[in-house]
């Protein structure tokens, strides 16, 4: 469930349930999920800690704990995090279980096992390489112009590059480019100031609308809200997953192409 709107939604939902809660124990079922420290130390050091705050940075979820440490979680492709009653049926791909003092469980499930978590006093060691937050007001159109200068890369891979901007992935990079009317293969340093302003506006609009609709739930329903309801942005996708379907703006059939080893969806008429 991994892009910015889904992680932001997760952070908001978990904030209500987790802040102030204590962790009494941790079971690590798939050790490689724990990137650091080693799984035994991870579990031992988390026992007895309390969650003070829940935040998001890019696609990372950050749980601030007492004792000046942070639990960082990255869902990668298929990770899911949910607070459930101890008796609730458990997903067969559960990798880590946090026992909360109120008897409930914070369960991390992840079929593909790509998800990672870390317990650290130095979150900047993990997050330092990330680019700016796309919704930060400090990211102005002028600043975006500067970020694009000298970048000879194609727009699609650049938007999904976490060192450039933190939080966009395959779905939202495609949606942003469609909204901005820019071709995914366009070289980044060839945008006019007007096009850059359009790109800036598209980034904000797409992400803000997706967050307001609590993210995108795809057909596999891997990402759902705590009450099981889907995020509602899927119905508003213009291009992602819509190959052959009509462009909402001009009606031309949406095209899918390989860009940087991943599929890019775009309208051949609206996007140059």
Task: Measure the CA angle with vertex 266, ends 167 and 229; round to 5°.
Answer: 55
Coil, strand, or helix at residue 52?
A: strand
**Nearest distance, CB of residue 109 and DNA, angstroms:** 11
Among the listed ranges 48-56, 63-71, 146-154, 203-211, the one in contact with DNA (CB under 7 A) is: 146-154
Please tell me whether residue 152 binds DNA under the rule CB under 7 A: yes
Closest CA relative to residue 6, chosen from 90, 109, 107, 80: 80
Q: Does 262 qualify as catalytic in the annotation?
A: yes
Active site residue 222: no
- Give dist(CA 174, CA 182) in Å, integer: 10
Rounded to an integer, what is the distance from CA 115 to the centroid of its chain? 12
Task: Give the one residue of 39, 123, 134, 157 binding DNA; rule: CB under 7 A.
Answer: 157
Residues 6+ away with beta carbon under 8 Å from 66: 49, 50, 52
77 to 116: interface string for DNA, x by CB under 7 A: xx-------------xx-----------------xxxx--
Q: Answer yes or no: 59 catalytic.
A: yes
CA dist., res. 253 & res. 272, Å (int): 14
Please give the residues from 42 up to 71 whose contact with DNA meets the rule CB under 7 A: 58-59
Tokens for 4, please give them.
Answer: 């910015």
Q: Is 113 a catalytic residue?
A: no
Q: State yes or no: residue 9 binds DNA (CB under 7 A).
A: no
Out of 21, 56, 99, 222, which residue is the one contacting DNA (CB under 7 A)? 222
> In this structure, are residues 80 and 1 in contact, taking their beta carbons and an 8 Å threshold?
yes
Figure out which of the listed residues 50, 55, 151, 198 binds DNA, where binding follows CB under 7 A. Answer: 151
Side-chain half-sphere exposure of 74, counting CA atoms within 13 A:
21
Site pattern 12..31 for DNA (x: CB under 7 A) = --------------------
* Torsion sign (Cα): 262, 266, 268, 271: negative
The answer to whether residues 95 and 26 touch, using CB atoms and an 8 Å cutoff, is no
Of residues 2, 5, 134, 184, which has the active-site annotation?
2
Which residue matches tokens 């966009």?
A: 168
Nearer to DNA, 11 or 100 (CB): 11
In angstroms, give the least distance from the CB of 237 to DNA.
10
Question: Measured between alpha carbons, how far is 115 from 61 in angstroms, rounded to an integer?
Answer: 12
- Residue 23: CB minimum distance to DNA, A: 25
Q: Is 171 in the site for DNA (CB under 7 A)?
A: yes
Contacts with DNA by CB under 7 A lie at 1-3, 6, 32, 58-59, 74, 76-78, 92-93, 111-114, 129, 150-154, 157, 160, 162, 169-171, 215-220, 222-223, 260-263
């Amino acid at each position: 469930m991994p892009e910015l709107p889904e992680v932001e939604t997760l952070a908001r939902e978990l904030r209500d349930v987790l802040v102030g809660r204590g962790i009494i124990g941790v079971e690590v079922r798939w050790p490689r999920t724990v990137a650091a420290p080693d799984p035994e130390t991870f579990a031992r050091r988390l026992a007895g800690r309390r969650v003070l705050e829940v935040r998001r940075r890019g696609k990372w979820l950050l749980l601030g704990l007492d004792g000046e440490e942070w639990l960082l979680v990255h869902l990668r492709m298929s990770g899911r995090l949910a607070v459930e009653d101890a008796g609730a049926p458990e997903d067969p791909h559960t990798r880590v279980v946090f026992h909360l003092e109120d008897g409930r469980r914070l369960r991390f499930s992840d079929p593909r096992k790509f998800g990672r978590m870390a317990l650290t006093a130095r979150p900047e060691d993990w997050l330092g390489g990330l680019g700016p937050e796309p919704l930060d007001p400090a990211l102005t159109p002028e600043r975006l112009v500067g970020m694009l200068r000298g970048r000879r890369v194609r727009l699609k891979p650049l938007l999904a590059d976490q060192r450039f901007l933190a939080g966009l992935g395959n779905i939202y990079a495609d949606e942003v480019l469609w909204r901005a009317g820019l071709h995914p293969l366009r070289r980044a340093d060839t945008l006019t100031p007007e096009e850059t302003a359009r790109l800036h506006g598209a980034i904000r609009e797409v992400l803000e609308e997706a967050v307001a609709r609590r993210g995108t739930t795809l057909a596999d329903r891997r990402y759902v809200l705590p009450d099981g309801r889907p995020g509602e942005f899927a119905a508003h996708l213009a291009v992602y997953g819509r190959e052959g379907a009509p462009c909402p703006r001009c009606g031309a059939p949406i095209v899918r192409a390989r860009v940087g080893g991943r599929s890019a969806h775009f309208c051949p008429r609206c996007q140059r």
